[in-house]
A and B are shown apart, each in its own frame.
Chain A
């Protein structure tokens, strides 16, 4: 018995070392493909580097690229647009996702099919859903005009994608369509872990529907919802595919990622483009720090 225990003891002794050996391949790969590029992007952002102008010798210019952002009207407009888009989509997705999850949080016939339907918008490529919706918004043959006209919401067909407000609304609807169901799914999973006893107890104590929601449901699913929210915020802030395919950034729908991409791959201005990319990285990093705080306790449990 003692001998056997000793043998496990020897495994225990090497636990720390073994852990690092097992993680080594992943750490090396991530350092090469993820950490190095981000550091290099930062380094590039400190240089004047337009690929079409190699004669400049790509000099080091410090923070000049960053200062330029604040004088660049197009950059500032894209930041404002991205913030507006993020706030609009995330709050709508939360509202719709939460409501749908609350309503569907019970056993009913056809639940499996509903769940499958929810997963489909999540599973298809964003570029495909953007094309689908682009056709729906078409000014002449689109479904959107057809339905709204038949319902009497609008008098005549509108060219949704050729005005700023129309484009903004179209993008928000498409994004909400793709991700609110996914949000509902995550929140539903969280709701299913709230014990039925808690509701019973609250009912016996005379709590009404709203009180049960605010004092039982909400505290129980708070971390799930926050996690889902922060993930969505990150995604919305990085938005690229949807806008690139649907409007190409026209009519004031240029997001920061689209603008950074134009600078990098169209104007081949790697210095300035990288500076905007670093800015996006910084914002995303701050949002993910929030996420870590929410998840912090769970991580320590592991």
Chain B
């Protein structure tokens, strides 16, 4: 009798211990980074490491914005990622609708082409895009980064939206057509409103991917004031010093909004992430 009660409790404890360990390993680097960002200079370089700072020092947060044009980095990232997201969803939605719900020859080929374009390695398009942007004087401009970002954002949008469109129940179009709707009417007045929540999921994922992109941003934004956040942060170290405190503060500044975003929209993000692979 006693065993029967003890074993499930033990199982529960082991289970939660595992979950705690798993989450702990994931979260620990962030906690460490946060603690580093508020430590006095002498405690960052303490040996052995001092975990809990004796006093709170927010100087590094000022450094991030005063020593580096970090606000400009944030603005650059925001402008480029937002423009990329809006453009690729505007262009991608109608294509995704056609792929998901219209019958035409060559559909399978188109889907495969889009999927393979979404997997193009950045490095394989780098030099021609660089030459093009140079030719049109688009290096170090927002347009010059949005254009290459479309290469991965558009196929990604189309692919995810196609999956969402095809999950809508069949027969909507017939009913609408019987009511005298045109193709454009069906798309704009019926399908788009229906797919709105999914568009939001896709937009979040595309935005995060564009926000995090590194190689194109590193190559096409060579002026310091035009850098995006991922590249800007990576350029903090100089030849003479590793400003660990500044880097920690900067990464907290970048991570906190993302944590909030993830906490609020985790269901939407997961819906978007899992639709591509696990449609049964």
Q: In the assembled complex, which residues on chain A have CB atoms less than 8 Å from the CB atom of B154? A: 26, 29-30, 33
A139 vs B229: C-alpha distance when bound (angstroms): 27
Q: In the assembled complex, which residues on chain B have CB atoms less than 8 Å from the CB atom of A14? A: 183
A5 vs B219: C-alpha distance when bound (angstroms): 57
Which of B60-68, B126-134, B195-203 touches A? B126-134
B 236-264 contacts with A by CB, 8 A: 236, 244, 247-248, 251, 254-255, 258-259, 261-263
A34 vs B216: C-alpha distance when bound (angstroms): 13
Q: Which of A11, A27, A110 gathers most chain B CB within 10 Å? A: A11
Instruction: Judge whether B169 is part of the interface by a CB distance below 8 angstroms.
Output: no
Q: In the assembled complex, which residues on chain B have CB atoms less than 8 Å from the CB atom of A35? A: 117
Taking CB as reference atom, which chain A residue is nearest B35? A143
Task: Assess whether B254 is in contact with A124, with CB atoms less than 8 Å apart.
Answer: yes
A103 vs B33: C-alpha distance when bound (angstroms): 29
Task: Assess whether A19 is in contact with B102, with CB atoms less than 8 Å apart.
Answer: yes
Q: In the assembled complex, which residues on chain A have CB atoms less than 8 Å from the CB atom of B150? A: 29, 33
Contact with B along A18-41 (1 / 0, CB 8 A): 111011011101100111111011
From B95, B125, B155, B211, give the contact of A37 (CB < 8 A).
Answer: B125
Q: In the assembled complex, which residues on chain B have CB atoms less than 8 Å from the CB atom of A74? A: none
**B246 → A minimal CB distance (Å):** 11
From A112, A130, A136, A280, give the contact of B121 (CB < 8 A).
Answer: A280
Which of A62-70, A83-91, A185-193, A210-218 touches B? A185-193
Q: Which of A103, A234, A241, A278 gathers most chain B CB within 10 Å? A: A241
Interface bracket on A = 35 or more
Task: Assess whether A132 is in contact with B123, with CB atoms less than 8 Å apart.
Answer: no
Task: Assess whether B269 is in contact with A119, with CB atoms less than 8 Å apart.
Answer: yes
From B27, B36, B91, B248, give the contact of A26 (CB < 8 A).
Answer: B91
A109 vs B46: C-alpha distance when bound (angstroms): 39
From A36, A124, A130, A277, give the contact of B124 (CB < 8 A).
Answer: A277
B 31-76 contacts with A by CB, 8 A: 32-33, 36, 44-49
Task: Assess whether A120 is in contact with B262, with CB atoms less than 8 Å apart.
Answer: yes
Which of A164-172, A197-205, A293-301 touches B? A293-301
Task: Assess whether B48 is in contact with A149, with CB atoms less than 8 Å apart.
Answer: yes
Instruction: Judge whether A209 is part of the interface by a CB distance below 8 angstroms.
Output: no
Q: In the assembled complex, which residues on chain A have CB atoms less than 8 Å from the CB atom of B127? A: 40-41, 44, 264, 270, 273-274, 277
A143 vs B33: C-alpha distance when bound (angstroms): 10
Taking CB as reference atom, which chain A residue is nearest B43? A141
Contact with A along B148-176 (1 / 0, CB 8 A): 10110011001000100010000001100
Q: In the assembled complex, which residues on chain B have CB atoms less than 8 Å from the CB atom of A277? A: 121, 123-124, 126-127
**A15 → B minimal CB distance (Å):** 5
Total B residues in contact with A, Cβ cutoff 8 Å? 107
A55 vs B258: C-alpha distance when bound (angstroms): 49
Task: Assess whether B122 is in contact with A238, with CB atoms less than 8 Å apart.
Answer: yes
**A143 → B minimal CB distance (Å):** 5
Instruction: Judge whether B103 is part of the interface by a CB distance below 8 angstroms.
Output: yes
Q: In the assembled complex, which residues on chain B have CB atoms less than 8 Å from the CB atom of A100? A: 22
From A18, A129, A264, A292, give the contact of B126 (CB < 8 A).
Answer: A264
**B104 → A minimal CB distance (Å):** 4
Instruction: Judge whether B234 is part of the interface by a CB distance below 8 angstroms.
Output: yes
Instruction: Judge whether A123 is part of the interface by a CB distance below 8 angstroms.
Output: yes
Given A7-B180, A26-B158, A277-B124, A117:B27 Cβ within 8 A: yes
Instruction: Judge whether A151 is part of the interface by a CB distance below 8 angstroms.
Output: no
Task: Assess whether A8 is in contact with B174, with CB atoms less than 8 Å apart.
Answer: yes
Instruction: Judge whether A81 is part of the interface by a CB distance below 8 angstroms.
Output: no
**A53 → B minimal CB distance (Å):** 16
Binding site for A on B (CB under 8 A): 15-16, 18-19, 22-23, 25-30, 32-33, 36, 44-49, 91-92, 94-95, 97-100, 102-105, 107-108, 110-112, 114-117, 119-132, 147-148, 150-151, 154-155, 158, 162, 166, 173-174, 177-178, 180, 182-183, 187, 208, 211-212, 214-215, 218-219, 229-231, 233-234, 236, 244, 247-248, 251, 254-255, 258-259, 261-263, 266, 269-270, 273-274, 276-280
Please give me the 10 A-B residue pairs with the lowest Cβ-Cβ distance, nearest first. A40-B128, A26-B95, A37-B125, A125-B230, A189-B274, A37-B128, A8-B177, A227-B277, A281-B124, A22-B98
Give 19 new A-B contacts, CB below 8 A, not counting A26-B154, A141-B49, A270-B127: A5-B178, A25-B95, A33-B148, A33-B150, A114-B22, A120-B27, A125-B233, A128-B251, A132-B33, A190-B277, A224-B277, A238-B121, A264-B126, A274-B127, A280-B124, A284-B124, A298-B279, A300-B108, A302-B100
Q: Can you list 17 A-B pairs, Cβ within 8 angstroms, ordered by A?
A: A5-B178, A8-B178, A22-B187, A30-B114, A117-B27, A120-B27, A124-B254, A125-B214, A127-B230, A130-B234, A131-B234, A135-B33, A141-B46, A185-B274, A270-B127, A281-B121, A302-B100
